[in-house]
Amino acid sequence: MKSLFKGIGLSAVGFALGTTALVASAQAAEEVNIYSYRMPELIKPLLDAFTEKTGVTANLVYASDGLGERMQAEGENSPADVLLSVDIGRLQSAKDLGVSQPLENEVINNNIPENLRDPEGHWFGLTTRARVIYASKDRVDQDSITYEELADPKWKGRLCTRSGQHVYSIGLFASMIAHKGEAEAEKWMEGVRDNLARRPTGGDRDQVKSIYSGECDIALGNTYYMGKMQTNEKDPEQKEWAESVRIIFPNTEDRGTHVNISGMILAKYAPNQENAIKLMEFLASDEAQAIYAAENFEYPVEAGIEPSELVASWGDFKADDISLAEIAALRAKASEMADVVSFDDGPSS
């Protein structure tokens, strides 16, 4: 095993170590080294299934930030074979940092829709999550909504969301720029800002808590957080929050609901490239897609693989089929626009 795992000094760079596979013997005959923004517990079932199927040991390093930059600093000495990430922004960032390499692979391309992979083969989507509206069951009667409607004054003081600079928000803002143009998107963002019940804060689960407490009536959030709350046995209070809201999928009558992805890249200097490609093919396979659906409350990207029963209970929706490469290209503009309108300062007086 290359010496991320014996020479990088993980504690010094703040990495939290994931699965027990990380301490596997350096003498292992077959292995693959994974840098992951995805939490270990979310991908352990997949890595266990991969090892059982192939005999290849999966070594995992998890961090919430900075992995792409770490790979760039390591250069040719990087032990990383595969990078796993949430959000199109981080996948595109890895490409922009020069730490990925293109992969033309028929197995992967046949399973992953074209709009959910990089046109040049640097990143591939594995699951999707929809950016939806959480709506109070008691205070919101309507069953349909559009993102555009979030700027309607009827929602003044009734909307909650997380920071406008969070990657999930930036993805949605970029999609509005793509569909509406810069001028209209900026006007929309100002309207959304002025409809906020408070300054943007917290994560998606916090928005549901705010609806439960009566602080707001609707909020933006990702679908899979609802699954996490509805099945949270360690914190029953979250199940109570979730019971107070329902999901509405925006824009189902026109372009469709904005979706983001979790995904993978092949590291530029992958020391175990053959095993890296084996892993990537596995993650795009029917078997792995079914595990994603069952374990993580996400939507498989491969056609024909059904979501879990719980996810299906939220209802069908039409996903926006715009290329995520186009969304990625507009993220810097979206971030700049969020600052221009002072989105995170909350509603103007």
The confidence band for 117, taking pLDDT boundaries of 50, 70 and 90, is very high
Angstrom distance (rounded) from CA 267 to CA 135: 41
Contact 22, 98 (CB under 8 A): no
16-20, 60-64, 133-137, 205-209: least confidently modelled range: 16-20
The confidence band for 186, taking pLDDT boundaries of 50, 70 and 90, is very high
The pLDDT of residue 294 is: 83
Query: What phi and psi values does residue 196 have, to the nearest 5 degrees?
Result: -65, 145
User: Following DSSP, what letter does each residue of 230-265 receive, concatenated?
Assistant: HT-SS-HHHHHHHHTEEEE-TTTTTT-B-EEEEEEE
pLDDT at 12 > cutoff 60: no
Q: Where are the domains of the chain?
A: 4-127+260-306, 129-258+316-345
Query: What phi and psi values does residue 141 have, to the nearest 5 degrees?
Result: -90, -30
pLDDT at 90 > cutoff 50: yes
Pairing assessment for the beta strands 82-86 and 124-136 based on DSSP bridges: unpaired
Q: Tell me how far CA of residue 126 lies from CA of 71, 216, 289, in angstroms.
A: 21, 33, 8
Topology (CATH) of 4-127+260-306: D-Maltodextrin-Binding Protein; domain 2 (3.40.190)
Angstrom distance (rounded) from CA 349 to CA 342: 13
Q: Is 257 exposed, middle or buried (0-12, 13-18, 19+ CB in 10 A)?
A: buried
Share of the chain above pLDDT 70, in %: 91
pLDDT at 4 > cutoff 60: no
Residue 62's nearest CA partner among 50, 70, 54 is 70
Domain 129-258+316-345 CATH superfamily: Periplasmic binding protein-like II (3.40.190.10)
The confidence band for 11, taking pLDDT boundaries of 50, 70 and 90, is very low
The pLDDT of residue 29 is: 57
Query: What phi and psi values does residue 218 have, to the nearest 5 degrees?
Result: -135, 160
Asked whether this chain's domains 4-127+260-306 and 129-258+316-345 adopt the same fold, the reply is: yes
Q: Tens digits of per-residue pLDDT, 264-298?
A: 999 999 999 999 999 999 999 999 999 988 888 99
Angstrom distance (rounded) from CA 325 to CA 118: 6
CA 286 to chain centre: 20
